[in-house]
A and B are shown apart, each in its own frame.
Chain A
Amino acid sequence: MPQPAVSAPVLDARDVCKRYPVGGGGLFARGPVPLLHAVDRISLTVGAGETVGLVGESGCGKTTLTRMLARLIDTTEGSILFGGDDLATVPAARFAGHPARAAIQMVFQDAEGSINPRFTAFDAIAAPLRRLNGLSGAPLRARVERAAEQCGLPLTLLGRYPHQLSGGQKARVGIARAVATEPKLLILDEPTSALDVSVQVVILELLAELKSRLGMSYLFVSHDLNVVRLICDRVLVMYLGRIVEEGPAEAVFRAPAHPYTRALVDSVAVPGQIREGPRLRLSGDPKSPIDPDQNACRFHGRCPRGQDVCGSVAPPEVTPGTGRRAFCHLPLMEHA
């Protein structure tokens, strides 16, 4: 069962923004350069021992957000409070030497692509221990083997190259590398989406076990709502650079308040279960993220419930239930 969040958050990101200049500029350009608002004033917390899910379609900015939180790219604005420091003040290029580097790690979607094809599984797992913990020789080997064992990776496979490993084994190498330095926060970027169902369960169980054993918190990015619902305590729903709804995963998915969340939930087919009743469907593509109108809902134009007010006034925050927030003029306030 998901345990409730306790004490102070491990990660507290406030009003994080990422804007990229696009096109324009140049010698003869007039007026301001158009800006792509990849992430627009997002605030989120991850509590100790909590698993927070992050869902949204491709291009909604979840990749940019996770890379900022992992300190791989710089923020344009906002703060990232972690262990009492504002990490957003440290440039990403110099973050490699920061003491918090070992405490924030990441597991990638494409396990194969995230392991250097020239190096063995051992080298991959050893890299963070070498650089961040300064280990070498026998202590290094011991730590690598411990991480591999924790992740259920047979030690005989440590000498293999990524192309000699199965999908599940590569996923285990990626996880072993990420947990080797015993991070406080683990960002999981669609860790099971490339895996078969039978392997997926094993990896999800492994992640659950590692979380309690190593006392980590998870930020879990996924497009598979069934998986998010299964393992996340809380969920954040992103649309076009903004969070449109957040709250306890089960409550949000059982009775979504934001029409976008509703459309997401309605789009998911449930194995072995034919659902009755009308489904909310979305047409078209999202609006352009370049210089979006700050006085309009981002979902306006694609939203089946949208009205004129949605195009001229920024959506207000509503509270559909305990611990929940949604940003919508016309939320679905049904209670399950």
Chain B
Amino acid sequence: MSASAAAGGTVGHIRHVLSENPVTGLSFGLFGLLVLTAILGPSLVPYDPLASSDAALAAPSAKHWFGTDNLGRDVFARVVVATRLDLGMAFAAVALVFVTGTLAGVAAGFLGGWTDRIVGRVTDTIMAFPLFVLAMGLVAALGNTIANVIYATAIINFPIYARVARTEANIRREAGYIEAARLAGASTLAVMLFEVLPNVLPIMMVQVSLTMGYAILNTAGLSFIGLGIRPPTAEWGIMVAEGAGYIVSGEWWIALFPGLALMLAVFTFNLMGDGLRDIVDPRRRT
């Protein structure tokens, strides 16, 4: 009985958050749309994103909604198909940094001492560089592969996760329930993983949403300058790069639509952050 009541409370709470802030609802809707596009996109588009046609540089029309590029490829198909790759790479990078950064930060904040110093030095070192330049350097040094773009994106986001997790773990170090858990026989590791971490995770979920946007921008940015993904693969960054040269000559659609898709994705994840926090934090429920 109490379990169902609690579940009803959760649904009710989510409904309340959404009704109180329609922007949150909008961002969740857009997020759903993006995910569906990533999953179903390639099987829905009317054209092969890689196939050239005679109609090169055609303006948007009923036949080609977003027009065609210099090789006659359908821009709409390419934008839709690229969703999976862009979101997938950003998601992989964020998942990686979410796990490593959160664990490192929680350990630093909760254990203090040497752990804290080491994690602190690592984050300081990363943050000493302009982050995009660091990502460029890493991909150039490690090799121009998709995996390395993901690693580089994860590394430049590491300080954000480690620092937020460190602060959140540190303020919970003295919490009463930490003492209670130790009285209950929990080892230091158990306290860290089962008492502190669950309290830090909701805050980190908000970070996930915020950094997803930047991660998308970062991976696209790398391919824009020719690192990571290579043509002819459909990817927003490459498409913007390829289309950039045609803006002056009037073929604006080649760069504009992938650019808009990129902007929409970044925008969606940023908006989701606040709504997500309201939903996952149990103390904001009544």
1/0 contact string of B1-17 vs chain A (CB within 8 Å): 11100100000000000
List B contacts of A105 (CB < 8 A).
Answer: 183
Q: A127 vs B190: C-alpha distance in the bound complex, in angstroms?
A: 11
- Please give me the residue from chain A that is nearest to B199 by CB atom: A118
Is the C-beta of B115 less than 8 angstroms from some C-beta in chain A?
no
Say yes or no: A72 contacts B177, CB within 8 Å.
Answer: no
Is the C-beta of A160 less than 8 angstroms from some C-beta in chain B?
yes
- Of the candidates A114, A118, A156, the one whose C-beta lies within 8 Å of that of B180 is A114
Q: A93 vs B191: C-alpha distance in the bound complex, in angstroms?
A: 11
Q: A93 vs B190: C-alpha distance in the bound complex, in angstroms?
A: 12
Q: Which of A7-15, A95-103, A300-308 contacts B (4 or more CB under 8 A)?
A: A95-103
Say yes or no: A160 contacts B185, CB within 8 Å.
Answer: no
Q: A102 vs B182: C-alpha distance in the bound complex, in angstroms?
A: 11
Chain A positions 165-211 with a Cβ under 8 Å from a chain B Cβ: 174, 177-178
List B contacts of A104 (CB < 8 A).
Answer: 183
- Of the candidates A93, A108, A117, A178, the one whose C-beta lies within 8 Å of that of B188 is A93
Is the C-beta of A59 less than 8 angstroms from some C-beta in chain B?
no
Is the C-beta of B195 less than 8 angstroms from some C-beta in chain A?
yes
List A contacts of B6 (CB < 8 A).
Answer: 159-161
Say yes or no: B183 contacts A113, CB within 8 Å.
Answer: no
Given the interface contacts A97-B187, A159-B3, A159-B6, does A108 sit within 8 Å of B179 by beta carbon?
Answer: yes
Report how many A-B pairs have Cβ atoms within 8 Å: 82
Q: A115 vs B44: C-alpha distance in the bound complex, in angstroms?
A: 51
Say yes or no: A113 contacts B285, CB within 8 Å.
Answer: no
Q: What interface size band does chain B fall in?
A: 20 to 34
Say yes or no: A96 contacts B199, CB within 8 Å.
Answer: no
List A contacts of B183 (CB < 8 A).
Answer: 70, 72, 101, 104-106, 128, 178
Q: A93 vs B189: C-alpha distance in the bound complex, in angstroms?
A: 11
Is the C-beta of B181 less than 8 angstroms from some C-beta in chain A?
yes
Secondary structure class of chain B's binding surface, majority of residues: helix
Q: A132 vs B181: C-alpha distance in the bound complex, in angstroms?
A: 11
Q: A174 vs B177: C-alpha distance in the bound complex, in angstroms?
A: 10
Chain A positions 253-295 with a Cβ under 8 Å from a chain B Cβ: none
Is the C-beta of B250 less than 8 angstroms from some C-beta in chain A?
no
List A contacts of B182 (CB < 8 A).
Answer: 72, 96
Is the C-beta of B198 less than 8 angstroms from some C-beta in chain A?
yes
List B contacts of A124 (CB < 8 A).
Answer: 180
Say yes or no: B185 contacts A156, CB within 8 Å.
Answer: no
Q: A105 vs B183: C-alpha distance in the bound complex, in angstroms?
A: 6
How close is A133's CB to chain B, nearest CB, in angstroms? 9
Is the C-beta of A110 less than 8 angstroms from some C-beta in chain B?
yes
Q: A177 vs B3: C-alpha distance in the bound complex, in angstroms?
A: 21
- Please give me the residue from chain A that is nearest to B200 by CB atom: A118
How close is A186's CB to chain B, nearest CB, in angstroms? 11
Say yes or no: B176 contacts A101, CB within 8 Å.
Answer: no
- Of the candidates B1, B185, B187, B199, the one whose C-beta lies within 8 Å of that of A116 is B199
List B contacts of A113 (CB < 8 A).
Answer: 175-177
- Of the candidates A72, A106, A110, A161, the one whose C-beta lies within 8 Å of that of B282 is A161
Most buried by B among A104, A158, A161: A161
List A contacts of B282 (CB < 8 A).
Answer: 117-118, 161, 163
Say yes or no: A128 contacts B3, CB within 8 Å.
Answer: no
Say yes or no: A116 contacts B285, CB within 8 Å.
Answer: no
Q: A158 vs B179: C-alpha distance in the bound complex, in angstroms?
A: 21
How close is B199's CB to chain A, nearest CB, in angstroms? 6
Chain B positions 225-247 with a Cβ under 8 Å from a chain A Cβ: none
Can you list 15 A-B contacts (CB < 8 A)? Answer: A67-B179, A104-B183, A106-B180, A116-B177, A116-B195, A117-B177, A117-B282, A118-B199, A127-B181, A128-B183, A131-B190, A132-B185, A156-B1, A159-B3, A160-B6
